[in-house]
Amino acid sequence: MGSKTDDTLAAAADAKLAVTDKSVLSKEEQMALISRNLQEVMNPEILEKVLDEGRHIRIYWGTATTGRPHCGYFVPIMKISQLLAAGCHVVILLADIHGFLDNLKAPIELVEYRAQYYKWVIKAILEAVGVPTEKLEFVLGSSYQKSPEYIMDVYKLCSLCSEHDSRRAGSEVVKQTDNAPLSGLLYPLLQALDEEYLKVDCQLGGVDQRKIFVAAKEWLPKLGYKERAHLLNPMVPGLQGSKMSSSDPDSKIDLLDLPEVVARKIKKAEAAPKVTEGNGLIGFTEFVLLPAAELRGGKFTVLRERDGLEPLVYSDIAQLKADYENDVLTPQLLKPAISAALNELLVPINAAFQASKEWQEITLKAYPPEEKKKKIKKVKDKGTRYQGAPPAKVAAQEGKTEGAVDGSAADGAAEQ
């Protein structure tokens, strides 16, 4: 995490950005914005060297285009907004092939549409928090990952890396099963090579990708490629305290959920009084709602009208946590404030979705509704009714049984 000095520098940079051009930021202010709210910065000297050379840092963030993006995506997107504010050139990799390789999470016939859906969503999130998207570069993984040069580098890495090393590198990212597909072992190799083929100085990812980042630092020089820096976002707990997951409807809020649905899910969220550690609501406020309010020139506000008290206004997570631990800020006060602040971000996203026929059509193609399988009524085989019957008697018995069933059906039809 960044120090108080870094936070002060970042705040000063934010204030300066509100009234002037990004080019006036000092190297220290740029680095403070880049490292703000991160769990770790690996090899920051690489970034400092780029700034000393007088050029913009080129950073990429990749997302495998699998399940529908949820509000957890605000965490990396808010970091991306800070990187843009620091003058970085940000590449967003829509990793369609990665999604297919990860235990077939994205069927090959759907990855193209899902990549398009992700692009719509990411742009809408950034626009919702007031971040211009002109300086973003979107790259589709399959646009270069099928090239002869890239494939040859994959082969080279396969000859240099052991199965154990690849499995360990992807252990917290790639789905692990007892008899996993071989494709999962390729996932970390491709992610390492992406740094070279996207020509970046740095990669942004969650702390769960740290093992892949460490592997990339080791593997790329073996192919004659340079080492990159890495930015690690913390993992923010979901509404039920565990990781926010698209497969768990109770732990996540969809980006297109209506305000009443958002309020209901927030109300059901786990939030122990006076406990900030592992508290998903506190984490979401720290890494999404406070930075979003700051970007839009405001603060995070908690109303207390019901108690006849002045609202609590926050621009500093340390003060918010202190109030929560001292029971000044209770879960009953915090939840409505989070619902209101989050809906301010989601309402424009939903409006953009409703206004775009193209986005709606892509959604249906990317995530087609599941067809309900019709239940086939099994015909009960009554058999011969007793064992050891001679063939002739069996045939006669079966004839009587069929006749009885057919007759019953005919009688029933006639009565109706």
Which residue has better confidence, 111 or 206?
206
Convert the pLDDT of each residue in 225-277 to its tens digit.
Answer: 999 999 999 988 887 765 555 555 656 899 999 999 999 999 999 999 999 99
Task: Give yes or no: residues 13 and 144 share one domain.
Answer: yes
For residue range 9-57, list pLDDT tens digits in order.
Answer: 555 555 444 433 445 899 999 999 999 999 999 999 999 999 999 999 9
What pLDDT score does 3 carry?
54
Any idea what the CATH number is for the domain that residue 95 is in?
3.40.50.620
SS (H, E, C) the chain: CCCHHHHHHHHHHHHHHHHCCHHHCCHHHHHHHHHCCCCEEECHHHHHHHHHCCCCCEEEEEEECCCCCEHHHHHHHHHHHHHHHCCCEEEEEEEHHHHHHCCCCCCCCCHHHHHHHHHHHHHHHHHHCCCCCCCEEEEEHHHCCCCHHHHHHHHHHHHHCCHHHHHHHCCCCCCCCCCCCCHHHHHHHHHHHHHHHCCCCEEEEEHHHHHHHHHHHHHHHHCCCCCCEEEEECCCECCCCCECCCCCCCCCCECCCCHHHHHHHHHHCCCCCCCCCCCHHHHHHHHHHHHHHHHCCCCEEECCHHHCCCCEEECCHHHHHHHHHCCCCCHHHHHHHHHHHHHHHHHHHHHHHHHCHHHHHHHHHHCCCCCCCCCCCCCCCCCCCCCCCCHHHHHHHHHHHHHHHHHHHHHHHHHC
Residue 154 lies in a domain: yes
* pLDDT for residue 316 is more than 70: yes
CATH at 338: 1.10.240.10
For range 166-188, the mean pLDDT = 83
Of the three residues 199, 215, 233, the one that is the final residue of a domain is: 233
In a domain, 250, yes or no: no
pLDDT of residue 7: 59
Same-domain check for residues 292 and 160 = no
Residue 344 lies in a domain: yes
Which residues are bridge partners to 202 per DSSP?
A: 59, 229
pLDDT of residue 414: 38
Would you state the pLDDT for residue 306?
87
Are 218 and 282 in a shared domain?
A: no
- 213 shares its domain with 268: no
Do 354 and 276 share a structural domain? yes
Ranges 109-118, 125-134, 320-329, most confident: 320-329
Pair 129, 19 in one domain: yes
Contact 59, 88 (CB under 8 A): yes
Model pLDDT, residue 378:
67
Residues 309 and 172 reside in one and the same domain: no
What is the distance between the alpha carbons of residues 244 and 64, in angstroms, rounded to a whole number?
Answer: 16
End residue of a domain, out of 199, 233, 267: 233
415 within domain boundaries: no
Lowest mean pLDDT of 70-74, 115-119, 201-205, 382-386, name the range: 382-386
**Domains held by the chain: number:** 2
Q: Same structural domain for residues 167 and 304?
A: no
* 395, part of any domain: no
Is residue 29 within 8 A of residue 13, CB to CB? The reply is yes
pLDDT mean over 411-416: 38
| 158 and 272 part of one domain | no
In a domain, 36, yes or no: yes
pLDDT reading at 346 higher than 50: yes
Q: According to the model, what pLDDT value does residue 416 have?
A: 39
Q: Is the model's pLDDT at 413 over the cut of 50?
A: no
CB–CB of 28/86 below 8 Å?
Answer: no
Residue 38 neighbours by CB under 8 Å, 6+ apart: 1, 2, 79, 231, 232, 233, 234
272 residue type, one letter: A
Cα 62 to Cα 354: distance, rounded to the nearest angstrom: 27
- The yes-or-no verdict on residue 111 having pLDDT over 50 is yes
The whole-number pLDDT of residue 100 equals 81
- Co-location of 180 and 278 in the same domain: no
Alpha-carbon 381 to chain mean position: 51
Q: Which of 178, 199, 233 is at the close of a domain?
A: 233
Same domain, 105 and 140: yes
| pLDDT above 80 for 338 | yes
- CA-CA distance, 64 to 141, in Å (whole number)? 9
Q: Say whether pLDDT at 407 is over 80.
A: no
User: Token match 């300066």: residue?
Assistant: 16
288-297 pLDDT, tens digit each: 999 999 888 8
Find the domain containing 268 and state its range: 259-366
Q: Please state at what angle helix 331-355 crosses helix 111-128, rounded to 10 degrees.
A: 120
Do 174 and 264 lie in a common domain? no
| Weakest mean pLDDT among 106-115, 269-278, 314-323, 369-378 | 369-378
Is 388 inside any structural domain?
Answer: no
Name the percent of the chain lying above pLDDT 70: 79
C-alpha separations of 59 from 12, 47, 165, 395 in Å = 23, 10, 25, 79
Neighbours of 289 (CB within 10 A): 24
Task: Answer positive or negative: Cα dihedral of 386, 387, 390, 395.
Answer: positive
The answer to whether residue 413 sits within a structural domain is no
Using pLDDT thresholds of 50, 70 and 90, give the confidence band for residue 172: confident
